[in-house]
């Protein structure tokens, strides 16, 4: 079940109740799982946030398992290019919001602006 949905000119993006991030072309076709590098867990902390810009999806991962897999991530709409932008062991990650130049997000009570 989708909990967060975003669209760009060509694609639909969503996050489901498991925290997974997916994309699909508006014209149809296969779904692409974008969070292939994130661990699967039994519990994902909400809110499940997502933003997109220039056919790239950005999301935060905060699972109940802790460890150094929490953080801010990105992937291309076709499922390639999964990258951890920033990671840490705490689960205080919120956002992101993205424009043509920057990624804005909250981590551990601080607002960050990072070049894309």
Over 90: is that where the pLDDT of 19 sits? no
Model pLDDT for residues 44-80, shown as the tens digit of each residue: 777 889 999 999 999 999 887 767 888 999 999 999 9
CATH number at residue 43: 2.120.10.30
Q: Which residue has the higher pLDDT, 42 or 23?
A: 23
**Average pLDDT rounded to a whole number, residues 24-37:** 96
Query: How many separate domains does the chain show?
Result: 1
State how far the Cα of 41 lies from the Cα of 24, in Å rounded to an integer: 23
Q: Which two tokens stand for residue 36?
A: 């292939």
State how far the Cα of 47 lies from the Cα of 62, in Å rounded to an integer: 9
Is 53 strand, coil or helix? strand
pLDDT band per the 50, 70, 90 thresholds, residue 83: very high
Over 70: is that where the pLDDT of 15 sits? yes
**Average pLDDT rounded to a whole number, residues 2-9:** 92
- State which residues form the domain around 90: 2-115
pLDDT band per the 50, 70, 90 thresholds, residue 42: low
What global pTM score does this model have?
Answer: 0.93
Over 80: is that where the pLDDT of 34 sits? yes
Q: Locate all alpha helices (DSSP H) within the chain, ordered by sequence.
A: none
């Amino acid at each position: 079940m989708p909990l967060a949905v975003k669209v760009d000119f060509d694609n639909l993006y969503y996050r489901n109740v498991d925290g997974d991030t997916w994309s699909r072309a508006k014209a149809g076709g296969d779904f692409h799982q974008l969070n292939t590098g994130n661990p699967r867990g039994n519990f994902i902390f909400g809110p499940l946030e997502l933003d997109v810009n220039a056919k790239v999806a950005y999301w935060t991962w905060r699972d109940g398992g802790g460890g150094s897999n929490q953080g801010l991530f990105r992937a291309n709409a076709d499922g390639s290019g999964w990258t951890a932008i920033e990671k840490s062991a705490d689960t205080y990650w919120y956002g992101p919001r993205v424009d043509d130049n920057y990624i804005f997000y909250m981590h551990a009570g601080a607002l960050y602006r990072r070049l894309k």
